[in-house]
Structure 1
């Protein structure tokens, strides 16, 4: 006769002693022995255990196959509709959910709920488990509020049960993960800390869900900026996952998360110790390794290769700081080739570039990350500018200039050139800086029009309607246009939005405007109502804009309504355009 109790005790021993990898062969042998004894009850119990094993090992097809066999056998045994049958349905549904078959899983969960409601008159672990798993299904299908309600129902049920430490910890873990999904990181961190604390108090070893709690706590520490604690928790989680399930999908995800945290730790420590800017580091990396590589590996082309760091990234703007080190930050540089040279040596040069040391001054090199590969390495000059601006060469017509955003032009013209013997890259880049003044004035006129429409007209109308949403959007449009106007008044390109205010600090014109913009923004961030002083402050910004327009010789009008000033600036642009055309005509005539 097959002794199921003894068999299950042996299985528990394997898990408890860290021999989870032996569980599959143990379970399969148990199935054979139970079949030989024609013990259907034992077969059913072992199939349920195998379901759980395959699900945890990310072997979903085998998990679903076991669930189908178990339900078919249960039907044959006349167990359909019983509480035990409901438990099997719960396990099967969870397998389908893990496999991504959400519609099938939800139907099985609904059937499980009907069975449990019929047989359970009081608090029950199985009902709590159902609520937990339903929550996971809802969260995976985007129904986050429903998911939270299910977890709260699970916790309410568990609180009424004796000796429910494991279930309480699991539910805290699930609540923590859900809070992270909902961007409620502080709340999620509290749940994870409670879960880990419960697991670590357990006298008879950790439950298999302990790894999930550890990973969740690691994520909580990550969001709190406690990177060393985050790494410690991920390391413990990896050991737990490997002991129970081996190197499954969850192991690989956790491993990648740990590598990310370790990388950030290294960057953080290097940033704290370094006094170099990103551009200085890039140049030092080139001087230490790149220059020698080019001269030794490509001596015939060394006098034709341009090198520097231009393009995306705070370091190209000179705005990098300690915070910049938390992502794609490190030594790296660009190598620019003519089209002909790129065809001949571009691939080989890129291969040699990627062989350069993967670390410099404590920072991982940029070319070792997917993001860094797009920002550093070997480029054909025309393709480089095409990628950043949409044009391989600077536009020739005003229409073409209008089509390039201020941010794109700033990106293409920021940074530093370390070496350019041919001068071709330098010359092409300079042409992107030489935008026609008439285009600048036309763009300025558009910005003034937006300020008038959003701040001087639509904001007040939205206020009368008590339409808070429209008021906020109007203010946002006004602020963006105001910043753009200040950059255009200075004749320089505006950077990506997160650097706009920082970049304005170094501009010669418009410092009073910048301070007024900051005052308006600070009032909103401090919790003032959107209407409080906002109209007055926006009007003050418009007055300051008019002053700058007059000082720049772009208007003679004192009218504070910027729609009027828009027309004045356009008139100035037309006059300058005609003067330029007349000058060009005279040159041709001579």
Structure 2
């Protein structure tokens, strides 16, 4: 499947989401035509389709295909394999994104155990589990465990200077945790290292946007609103390129609105919230807290603009 993944990576780099989805679905259809719809290869491609849907915030479809891929691996006697653990990791990430941090932590720990039992504690997949486990612990309100997992991931990938993708992710996770602890100086040192790795990669990376947002948040808290705006705008552009107008895109719009509000540009702030609101409504529903908060903020900014 090397050629498949190589071409898929190139399509992701192009930013053409329709082409990515079509390419993956075409591969599934080709496998079905060969009566390989219950094969491990088919499950691996399903995992890619589910991962794509997760990235573009089509969460129900992502959950369905992750579950189908897991069932196929189990039916083939591969329920303890590294590939199975990888899909567990991806499904756990979906749970985290959809507000189920407890379930996410549980699945991340299951994936971690499978990799440990297989003697794979030094690989990229193990580092990815630790990095994502750190995020889930943050969401679950367990900052100490989050920091422990992020630090373990950083120490693991730090042994291999060539693995800059997971190293940059680890640095960003540590920076976010330090930021939340109020240690802005250490957070900035960490995120600047992460951004340095992303800048040296030679091609854009889907995770670069998260690091840019972390840097922007630090600048915003420091009162450097103009610089923060530039970083948030870069994060917004990268998010849209790789994932379209997903939840992260809407969150970034809200952040840009906050910066513009701080700069006194209510009109621009309102426009960004107005753009974010339909994304939240479509993906999360009208009753979700984020949707309600955005609607209330839009009303507030509209009133302020009308009073001017």
The TM-score with structure 2 as length reference comes to 0.82
Residues 487-541 of structure 1: per-residue CA shift (max 9 Å, x gap): xxxxxxxxxxxxxxxxxxxxxxxxxxxxxxxxxxxxxxxxxxxxxxxxxxxxxxx
2:300 equivalent in structure 1: 370
Alignment length, in residue pairs?
Answer: 275
2:158 equivalent in structure 1: 159
1:196 equivalent in structure 2: 195
Alignment of 1:77-226 (within 5 A): 77-120=76-119, 123-203=122-202, 205-226=203-224
What SS is found at the alignment partner of 2:206? coil
Residues 425-461 of structure 1: per-residue CA shift (max 9 Å, x gap): xxxxxxxxxxxxxxxxxxxxxxxxxxxxxxxxxxxxx
2:11 equivalent in structure 1: 14
Q: Distance between the aligned counterparts of 2:93 and 2:60, measured in 1? A: 13
Q: Is residue 46 of structure 2 the alignment partner of residue 27 of structure 1?
A: no
The Cα of 1:181 is off from its aligned counterpart by 2.5
Structure 1 gaps, min length 5? 269-326, 328-366, 378-590
Q: Distance between the aligned counterparts of 2:53 and 2:298, measured in 1? A: 35
Cα RMSD after superposing both structures: 2.4
Q: Is residue 185 of structure 2 the alignment partner of residue 255 of structure 1?
A: no
Q: Distance between the aligned counterparts of 1:162 and 1:78, measured in 2? A: 35
Where relative contact order (Cα < 8 A, 6+ residues apart) is larger, the structure is 2
Q: Contact 1:93–1:108 at 8 Å: present in 2 too?
A: yes
Q: Distance between the aligned counterparts of 1:227 and 1:121, measured in 2? A: 44
The Cα of 1:97 is off from its aligned counterpart by 2.0
1:231 equivalent in structure 2: 229
Residues 312-356 of structure 1: per-residue CA shift (max 9 Å, x gap): xxxxxxxxxxxxxxx9xxxxxxxxxxxxxxxxxxxxxxxxxxxxx
Provide runs of 4+ in structure 1 moved above 4 Å: 371-374
Equivalent position to 1:5, from 2, 6, 24: 2
The Cα of 1:162 is off from its aligned counterpart by 4.6
The Cα of 1:121 is off from its aligned counterpart by 5.5
The Cα of 1:116 is off from its aligned counterpart by 1.1
The Cα of 1:185 is off from its aligned counterpart by 2.4
Q: Contact 1:214–1:234 at 8 Å: present in 2 too?
A: yes
Q: Distance between the aligned counterparts of 2:104 and 2:183, measured in 1? A: 27
Q: Distance between the aligned counterparts of 1:263 and 1:223, measured in 2? A: 14
Q: Contact 1:192–1:213 at 8 Å: present in 2 too?
A: yes
Structure 2 gaps, min length 5? 270-296
Q: Which has the larger radius of gyration?
A: 1
Alignment of 1:114-513 (within 5 A): 114-120=113-119, 123-203=122-202, 205-266=203-264, 370=300, 373=303
1:541 equivalent in structure 2: none
What SS is found at the alignment partner of 1:215? helix
More helix by share: 2
- Sort the Cα spacing of 1:76 and 1:267 in 2 relative to 1 into closer, same or farther, 3 A: closer
